[in-house]
Structure 1
């Protein structure tokens, strides 16, 4: 057999790293503390209902497919998916004119925009053109490459490209330059919350997220998002990989400046390399005990860093189908989005939150008992180090009441509360305890300017050999497609150190993945 690699954590990036390494000829073993794989891409089963625990929106499907194509498999056999159009509904109030269906069909989208304002329709096209140009620069020079040494960033060529990104503007200011209608601005700018930052201070580059939706579409995987996690586990096992579930890692063993394996449940397990998919801040505080290997990431440094927002989630099993709600993905906006977002990032408890409703059983009836729907409701909230309130029963009741009262006013939902037959929830402390998400921050370290690109934790450990990091708190950042890229970068870095080449990490079983890789989609 080849050299042995231990992967700590079976989150999306851990699974993708494990598949790539097993395919490249390594003997890979995953250690996962939970009883199932997926990390935050988990599944909740209750009373015949199935809910995705965390991520729900599939963007950039080529990156999902690439992991399977790499191993010579047909992705459709593992993650059958369909494109959604409309992509989602947006609700600003209870009247019909407060409801918009957002299409990725540009012809239909332009009709909607022109109804709002012809000037804004023109502005929207200008926004798309400008952000697409910056997206291509980011893709080519930043998102898909590591910054192992300072000189990888601080050189004339890269700095010249960095200036083209115009990162010093906020998402909201950039959108406001092109659009005037407040609702339209909110529809586009709120999506920075997909990676846990506010559009009012998050870098304008992150307005590429809605652009990716408009130009490449939103997709749905049969069985929900958890299908992706379970399919990656299946592929990894087919390739000969081993998965240890209910196996928490206590420590990454570091001796003489090298990772030598892990300590799990008191047992020493040796390996040639360690790939850590545990959240980077948690790992540096709890799994890396060697002071030299921590480098600048001391406990004080970890605590002083900025974190993305967290989420409060309700999983509601209903006794009926919501036929009058047209779409799977639904966004309900509060009266004042700016106040709402300011509360999230300053730690205040909100009294008028915006939230998201996902009804996966609309597209896949197997996710709920016959004749019923499951509602997944997500409210972005403060992470624990910022929060000025406790997550007690009163706080949970407060948010639950606000959500259900707001839903009553949204066309198609009616008196939701009277139809609940099954209920559970996740809070920021749950994300912290179950998934080791530091401060309960669902998207890891906040991707602000001081924590992006070369300033974000990198895949290759700076002060320890044979140790690599992957996941949302590392470069290039959060969001499922981006953490899939972080897995690719981590494996390429390992191969570069071990073999002096990265080709085995990228060489697919057919040419589709190579084409996807060339386009960066």
Structure 2
């Protein structure tokens, strides 16, 4: 067996990297804080109801399947999938409420856009063609590759590719250029919230998200999204990997730690006062990772893959300011973070054949809603995502009942201008119920709820170490994407690597899986003797 690799966290990025490294001949062990794999792809099972805690929507199914094919497994034996038709339903608040059932059947889509007039129909086709071209450039040259050196991006060829992406526009403004109909614009731009950024300032490249849905469909994994995490963990153990659950990692150890003091407080203070300058003139080439500290005991390893949220790791797991480099505590606090989520998990009496597995309620105060999410003011009239997995998999609730997952995008803790307490939760619960009771068949929803759990931004911060409760990690703004985003390979410490939604290439389950792949490839590249800088 090859050299030992320790992975901090059994989230999807960590599992993706761990499987690839174990398959390549390394001896890999994962240390996971929770009692189950998946990170935010967690699961609640109570009173016969099964809830996914975080991600719920499967896009780009081939990426999910590829990790099993890599190990010569049939993906259908691990993650049986069903294509959803319709993919989702969209309800626009108003009198009357406007309703659209969206699938990825081109004749049906053309019927919808043509009903809005020929200008919208032509614009829709132009949108698909234009964004598909940009998607191919992004996938080939940015999403699937690391940026470990400045020359990896600052060269004539890559600069030409970057210009092809035309990322300087916002997602919603770009859609308005293609289609004048406001409902179509919003149906094809709100998906940037999947990765925690507003369509009003998210780079227009992220309009590839609805394009991917329309071209490849939305799928459902039997048992819910947590099945993916369970089965990746199963695969990892089948090929010889080991997972330690209920194992809380307190520190990533490096050869520089002896110069920082036992707690690292002095080093942290220095980093905070000096900002990014603490690495100037410091010779860091000789610093190496030495292992991790888990529940007070030391685990030695020449390689560490950190799947903990990158900002959290830099502030709480790494003591040395030399290893942190420019990501000092002061820098971390100044970075832009994605929105968070408030999620209500409801076990509900009855079944609801007038709704789909995925349902979106778009606020009549759409613009104000988006502003409040990202400026931290109280949301007056939220947009709601309602996931009903029992519409596809009835085993996720007792017979004759349904599992509801009601989510509203909400300000992360560093932005919110209000406290999270029982009154805040009740305030938003009432708003969610008010919006959902307008949907067909949900007139008596509150009376039909027989089980309830809630996840607030504080819960995401505490349970999953999501920095400031930002569910999707660092916001994928232009200045926090591609080569400007934290990379897989630590800049100032040999043997240390990162994966997850706050690292390149970003958030979203398929993209985080790609992050794990890049992370594994970077480690293997160094093992083969590439120059360490």
TM-score, normalised with respect to structure 2: 0.93
Q: 2:501 aligns with which of 463, 472, 482?
A: 472
Q: Deviations over 1:282-304 (max 9, x none)?
A: 00001111121010000000000
Shift of 1:499: 2.1
Q: Distance in 2 between matches of 1:385 and 1:97?
A: 35
SS in 2 for 1:373: strand
What's 1:248 paired with?
A: 248
Shift of 1:346: 0.4
Shift of 1:116: 2.6
What's 2:522 paired with?
A: 493
Q: Distance in 2 between matches of 1:349 and 1:106?
A: 40
2:418 paired with 1:386: no
Unaligned runs of 5+ in 2: 256-285
SS in 1 for 2:22: helix
What's 2:269 paired with?
A: none
2:314 paired with 1:290: no
Shift of 1:103: 1.1
2:455 paired with 1:455: no
SS in 2 for 1:76: helix
- Contact 1:146-1:458 within 8 A present in 2 as well: yes
What's 2:29 paired with?
A: 29
SS in 1 for 2:501: coil
Q: Distance in 1 between matches of 2:200 and 2:443?
A: 33
Shift of 1:93: 3.0
- Contact 1:169-1:204 within 8 A present in 2 as well: yes
What's 1:47 paired with?
A: 47
Shift of 1:28: 0.4
- Contact 1:32-1:243 within 8 A present in 2 as well: yes
Q: Deviations over 1:61-82 (max 9, x none)?
A: 0100011000110000000001
Shift of 1:117: 2.6
Q: 1:344 aligns with which of 357, 373, 377?
A: 373
Q: Distance in 2 between matches of 1:250 and 1:97?
A: 51
State the aligned residue count.
500
Return 116-125 or 18-27, whichever deviates more.
116-125
Q: Distance in 2 between matches of 1:244 and 1:50?
A: 24
Q: Matches of residues 226-237 of structure 1 in structure 2 within 5 Å?
A: 226-237=226-237
Q: Distance in 2 between matches of 1:370 and 1:95?
A: 35
What's 2:304 paired with?
A: 274
Unaligned runs of 5+ in 1: 502-521
Q: Distance in 2 between matches of 1:11 and 1:117?
A: 45
What's 2:162 paired with?
A: 162
Over the aligned positions, Cα root-mean-square deviation in angstroms equals: 1.1
- Contact 1:313-1:376 within 8 A present in 2 as well: yes
What's 1:358 paired with?
A: 387
- Contact 2:91-2:98 within 8 A present in 1 as well: yes
Q: Deviations over 1:336-393 (max 9, x none)?
A: 2111001100001111000100000111111000000011001000011111011111
Q: Matches of residues 408-423 of structure 1 in structure 2 within 5 Å?
A: 408-423=437-452
SS in 1 for 2:401: coil
Q: Distance in 2 between matches of 1:164 and 1:141?
A: 11
Q: Distance in 2 between matches of 1:46 and 1:115?
A: 45
Q: Distance in 1 between matches of 2:53 and 2:16?
A: 19
What's 1:438 paired with?
A: 467
- Contact 2:91-2:97 within 8 A present in 1 as well: no
TM-score, normalised with respect to structure 1: 0.95
Q: Deviations over 1:412-458 (max 9, x none)?
A: 32210010000001000100000000010000000001101000000
2:118 paired with 1:89: no
2:350 paired with 1:314: no
- Contact 1:82-1:219 within 8 A present in 2 as well: yes
- Contact 1:313-1:377 within 8 A present in 2 as well: yes
- Contact 1:93-1:410 within 8 A present in 2 as well: no
